[in-house]
Amino acid sequence: MGKKLRIGVFGGARGNSMIQVLLHHPDAELVAVCDKYVPLLEQARKNAEAAGLSIACFENFDDFLKYDMDAVVLANYATEHATFAVRCLRAGKHVLSEVLPSETMAQAVELIETVEETGLVYAYAENYCYMDLTFEMWRKYREGAIGDVTFAECEYVHDCASCWVDITYGDPAHWRNHLYPTFYCTHSLGPVLMMTGRRPVQVVGFENPPIEEFYHLGHAGGHASGIEMVTLDNGAIVKSIHGPLKLEPAHTSYKLYGTRGYLGTHAGDSGDQVRLYQESPEHTCQGENHFYAPEKFVSAELAENSGVATHGGSDFYPTHFFIEKILGKEDGKWSIDVYQAVDMGICGILAFRSILNGNQPVRIPNLRNKEERDAWRNDRACTNPAVAGDQVLPCSSYPERVLDAEEIARNRHMWEERHK
């Protein structure tokens, strides 16, 4: 066997999922972890030791980046991935990025151009594309099981109110507290784009009403759920909804209608299944329904043995496909590249422009084309003034609120009590 790839992980919270995969992967090894929150570094070090590995731990990203590594996993703040991806690529490291790919249109252009210039691997860790059900839908659609997509629906419903203080540390400046409704769109839209292989060409955005509870938990815009109505390049429409709505347990749902049938996730009495309807070639409006729980069909044994089965069985795959793509192996073909990542991410960025503009449709550029990039190269509009400058946006179309000092102190205290 050749030398294992040396991989570092930036961000030890969500990054722990990638750490677990790397600790047991035959083609790669975890060599370093970076997080400014020291308890997460300690946890990573302990996990590595239990797997017989000694890793370097860094609180500071600059020191981490100088370490001897082939590749970096970015599991840092969702709004900062493109900035750090560009730094890693320029330092000669392949990059696997957690969601989202970029905070702005300008960063999307810079990210694509940096990947092109360096020739290194960029992979997007949209794990929802690799859940047991969605991955099977991807496979069946590409086999031609239902013809060409005509309409699709996708949803990612996750209230998060009960854990909001945990995942924001009770800090009103945390990125989650300034999310606008359509930003976090790739858990819903991503699988539809990967299943169908279609490109989004237009988006109309909608914002549901803000949620009173979330203002008090620290979200400046009341953390409303967002909707993107996306037109694909064959004219099919996709309805994508995501965010906090009152339904437990949290769930995802995907439906693809095609010219010859239907593929969807199905929450049946006997567990989660794929539903495949195929119209008879002889008799229109007649066909067969199949309901089944799919088996894993890519590196199933390795995935099962990794012990990482979270998020519908998906969490092994983004890291595995990244490794295999760097090594030029067969499984690497399932890795999500920078153009596909940006297609997904900019649907959310531009849907919010649509919302702020009275739900006007917005054309989605194809940033594979160099001539389409200049129009977006300096578009820094986002909710962070340090990035946006004079292009700063609110995080809701409803009036923003500032939490009073007492509530901030209460939320922070709650976090401290829970993390003693």
Ligand X SMILES: NC(=O)c1ccc[n+]([C@@H]2O[C@H](COP(=O)([O-])OP(=O)(O)OC[C@H]3O[C@@H](n4cnc5c(N)ncnc54)[C@H](O)[C@@H]3O)[C@@H](O)[C@H]2O)c1
Q: Indicate if the alpha-carbon torsion angle 192, 193, 195, 196 is positive or negative.
A: positive
* Shortest CB 210 distance to ligand X, Å: 21
Binding of residue 76 to ligand X (CB under 6 A): yes
- Told to check if 157 binds ligand X by CB under 6 A, we report no
Which of 314, 334, 309 lies closest to 324, judged by CA? 334
Q: Which is nearer to ligand X, 75 or 85 (CB)?
A: 75
| CB-nearer residue toward ligand X: 37 or 339 | 37
Q: Which of residues 99-118 bind ligand X (CB under 6 A)?
A: 99
Asked if 411 touches ligand X (CB under 6 A), the answer is no
- Asked if 216 is part of the footprint of ligand X (rule: CB under 6 A), the reply reads no
Residue 182 contacts ligand X per CB under 6 A? no
3-state secondary structure of 22: helix
Shortest reach from residue 7's CB to ligand X, in Å: 16
Give the number of other CB atoms < 10 A from CB of residue 68: 9
Distance CA 81, CA 177 (A): 17
Nearest to 364 by CA among 220, 198, 243, 196: 198
Of 11, 181, 200, 243, the one binding ligand X (CB under 6 A) is 11
77 binds ligand X (CB under 6 A): yes
> At a CB cut-off of 8 Å and minimum separation 6, what does 328 contact?
none
* Residue 58 C-beta: closest distance to ligand X, Å: 8
**Under rule CB under 6 A, residue 188 binds ligand X:** no
Binding positions for ligand X, 26-45, rule CB under 6 A: 34-37, 40
The residue among 37 and 257 lying less far from ligand X, judged by its C-beta, is 37
Query: Where does 280-327 show beta strands of DSSP type E?
Result: 287-292
Give the contact letters, 309-328, x = binds to ligand X (CB under 6 A), - = no.
--x-----------------
> H or E element: which one contains 4?
none
Residue whose CB is less far from ligand X, 14 or 219: 14
Q: Indicate the residue among 126 and 331 with the shorter CB distance to ligand X.
A: 126
Closest CA to 400 of 186, 172, 242: 172
Q: How far apart are the first and last CA of the chain?
A: 44
Rg (CA), the chain: 21
Residues in Cβ contact with 284 at an 8 Å cutoff, skipping those fewer than 6 apart: none
Closer to ligand X by Cβ: residue 40 or 227: 40
Q: Is 392 exposed, middle or buried (0-12, 13-18, 19+ CB in 10 A)?
A: middle
Asked if 127 touches ligand X (CB under 6 A), the answer is yes
Separation CA 276–CA 144 (nearest Å) = 12
* Nearest distance from C-beta of residue 78 to ligand X, angstroms: 3
Asked if 5 interacts with ligand X (CB under 6 A), we say no
CB of residue 399 to ligand X, shortest distance in Å: 26
Of 76-84, 233-241, 254-262, 282-290, the segment contacting ligand X by CB under 6 A is 76-84
Coil, strand, or helix at residue 326? helix
78 binds ligand X (CB under 6 A): yes
Q: Give the per-residue SS3 of 338-378.
A: HHHHHHHHHHHHHHHHHHHCCCCCEECCCCCCHHHCCCCCC
Shortest separation between residue 163's beta carbon and ligand X, angstroms: 10
Which of residues 29 and 315 has its CB atom nearest to ligand X in the complex?
Answer: 315
Q: Build a one-symbol-per-residue string for 56-75: x at contacts with ligand X by CB under 6 A, - elsewhere.
A: -----x-------------x
Binding-site ranges for ligand X (CB under 6 A): 11-14, 34-37, 40, 61, 75-78, 98-99, 127, 167, 311
